[in-house]
Amino acid sequence: MRALKATYYDGKTSKRQEVQIYFDNPRQLRVSGLAHELSFSLSEVRIAPRVGNTPRSIYLPGGAKCETTDNDAVDRILEHRRSGGWHAFVHKLESRLGYVLLALVITVASVWGFIQYGIPAIAKQVAYSLPPAVDTALGKGSLSALDQAFLSPSELSEQKQKELRAAFAAMTRDLADEHSFRLEFRKGGAVGANALALPSGIVVMTDELVALGKHRNELVAVLAHEIGHVTHRHALRRLLQDSATVLLIVAITGDAMSITSLSATVPTLLIETKYSRDFEREADRFALGYLKENNINPRHFADILSRLEQSRPGESDIPDFLSSHPATKERIKAFQSAS
């Protein structure tokens, strides 16, 4: 085999020396032109990947190295070595910028698609495969935490609370759902007019929201929406989506109790995090179905949504069911069209 012209550096001084490199066989490298000829097994030698036509480094044992510009010859030699495929692949990528950009676009699109569609789909499957006991464990202590951080005792009359609880009980009595539904009232304060669906089945309605309702069926419509969040397990699914590590553990091992490690985040999620576009629409569809089945005009929900929107212009802490995902006007129009 013909010699490769190279420059030798001993790794100890800055001295350089012109040498010839011979690959006597696929496993042996020999450096000639020094005072003493050097010979190494190729398993002891590291050859750097090709980067364009820049000099190629061949690292020798003991810290010495050789540099050669005969990249094509080195590539041919590497074809006889197991590592040759990797070196060739690196060079092909480097020399074909279009492929690199295409690979980058595909990678970014794949990651985006998995986050946008893959994780929610996995979270949904996992959530529906878990028993309601998981929701109960997640919701345990959530109401107390909300009371300590955000809410205060309700000032509604006993009669008003009794009336709405009776309506809520009638709404949930015949549901094919194992959650332990319960309606609670609290003064919202900074939270304002709002309704919150805890994973366990507890729905919290604030005094401010009750005061905003001009018709009993407006509040019934809001309760139907929140029941939809519970039956579709939106809080659990959102927790799973926000914690991909826990989601993968549950999906792979089936260890449902690992989810309870997220229970401390439930109050913050309910108050500060808006449900996704799909979750809101799913809860809206549930509410619309209930209203139609019970001969309640869907316009009642549209009316209270409009009033809520007007009561909080420009504020960021809009109630979950008044979220901008989807836009409130779009949701109002949907219920008006169904009336």
Mean pLDDT value across the chain: 81
13: pLDDT strictly greater than 60: yes
Number of domains in the chain: 2
| Domain match, 183 and 241 both | yes
| Domain match, 181 and 251 both | yes
Q: Domain end: 60, 93, 126, which one? A: 93
Cis peptide before 326 (omega within 30 of 0): yes
CATH number (domain holding residue 50): 2.30.29.30
Q: Can you tell me whether residue 120 is helix, strand or coil?
A: helix
Annotate 220-260 with DSSP letters as a single string.
HHHHHHHHHHHHTTHHHHHHHHH-HHHHHHHHHH--GGGGG
The per-residue pLDDT for range 223-232, each reduced to its tens digit, is 999 999 999 9
The per-residue pLDDT for range 199-219, each reduced to its tens digit, is 889 999 999 999 999 999 999
| Domain match, 308 and 230 both | yes
- Domain extent, residue 68, equals 4-93
* Structural tokens at position 21: 């490199």
Contact status, residue 194 vs residue 283, Cβ threshold 8 Å? no
| Domain match, 122 and 89 both | no
The per-residue pLDDT for range 73-103, each reduced to its tens digit, is 888 777 765 544 555 566 566 666 677 788 8
Amino acid 316: pLDDT: 42
| Domain match, 294 and 208 both | yes
44: pLDDT strictly greater than 80: yes
In a domain, 98, yes or no: no
| Domain match, 192 and 301 both | yes
